[in-house]
Structures are given as structure tokens and as C-alpha cells.
Structure 1
Amino acid sequence: MANSDDREELITVEKVALGMTKPVMKGGIPISALAIIFAFSAELVLFGFLFFKNPFFGLVGLPLYGMARIRARVEERFIELMAAAARTRWFNRARRRWGATTLSPLRFRKSKVWR
């Protein structure tokens, strides 16, 4: 049976491991989320200015930043988790066929066997 010293050491190791996996943050959200929001806002500014002569379409990024910041308070790695969910759950041919999710490092090729 483990004594209390072993449990305290285990908790310390887990905190260190969590700190090592934390993504780089800027403005309270991960840089990957900030880049996505910035790119989306810049595209909307260009779209709004070219077609409607109104550059304020880019203000859509402010609510997106707020939602990302709220989400980052709960889980800092939410962008990586969403990417993993996209690879396993959202675009998975095996789920439609077998009703289960899998992750494969190889891209699926269309073949006549799986039709």
C-alpha cells in the first residue's frame, strides 16, 4: 500500500506534466486560436470592404475572441482537442460503417472494397 509521501509526489508530477503540455497563450487564448480568429476577421474585413464598402465586418472577431477566452478558462488545449475530434469523430468513415471512432495516421483512400 502506498504511503502519503508517494501520493504527494504523484500529485506534484501531474502538475508538472500539465504545465509542460500547456500551449503558448497570448491574450488569454492559445496562439493557434488567435491566428484562426485573426485570419477569419481579416477575410471578413476584405470581403466587407470590397463588396459593401464597410470594413466593420471584421468586428465579428471580438465575440469569437470572447468565446475562445471563456473556453480557454476551462481547457487551455481546446483547439488541439477540437482538431483531434475532427480527425476521429467528425470526418470518420469507420463511424458510419461500424458505429465506432478510430484514429489512423494514414489518410483514407476511396476503394471499391468499402462501398
Structure 2
Amino acid sequence: MKANVTGCSVEEAMRLLGGRWRLLLVSYLVDGPKRFSELRRDVPGISQRSLTLDLRALEEAGLVKRTVHPTAPVRVEYALTADGERLKPVVKVMMDFGLWLKQKSQA
């Protein structure tokens, strides 16, 4: 990941959550654990590679936990960690802002 150039806390957050998919993936995990295939269906525009890389980055940051269930076939679930739960207010604000933008564009 790139280094924080300005030292700004907003830049630090955007360094991790910026990009097209990461905060969206977090928003789908707010309701509870999801399997990889469920996330892929929820975000149809994301490639398998991007989904894998973004989930790994969120896991490495300690925001998402990956659990492998030893079944046949193997079942892998992703869920927010306690630190990831701290993003719920951010997701809420983004949802509210997105709804406002939709309403504004329809007016």
C-alpha cells in the first residue's frame, strides 16, 4: 500500500478503504458473515481477482476475519471483526449520502 503523504487521518482511512470495492464489501458484511460466492453475487461487477485482493487487504488490516470451515467442499466465510464493526457508522453515512444523491438526481 502507498504511504500516507500528508499525514492526514482522512488520507490514512482512504488509503485502506479507497478504491471502488472495499467499503462496498464492508457494507455487505455489516449484516453478518458471507461466503465468497455470496459477495461475488452481491457485487456482480467485481472480478474474482479484485474480490480476493480486496478481502485480503481488509483481512490484513484486521477489519475482516476469514473463517475456513472444514467441510466437503470447504466453506469459507468472511465477517467483520470488532475493529471492522467500527465502520458501521461510516457505512450508514455513505448510504444516507448515496440516497440523497439519488433523490437529488431524480428531482
Relative to the length of structure 2, the TM-score reads 0.29
Q: Which structure carries more strand by proportion?
A: 2
Q: Which has the higher contact order (CA 8 A, sep 6+)?
A: 2
Q: Write 1 or 2 for the structure with the bigger share of helix.
A: 1
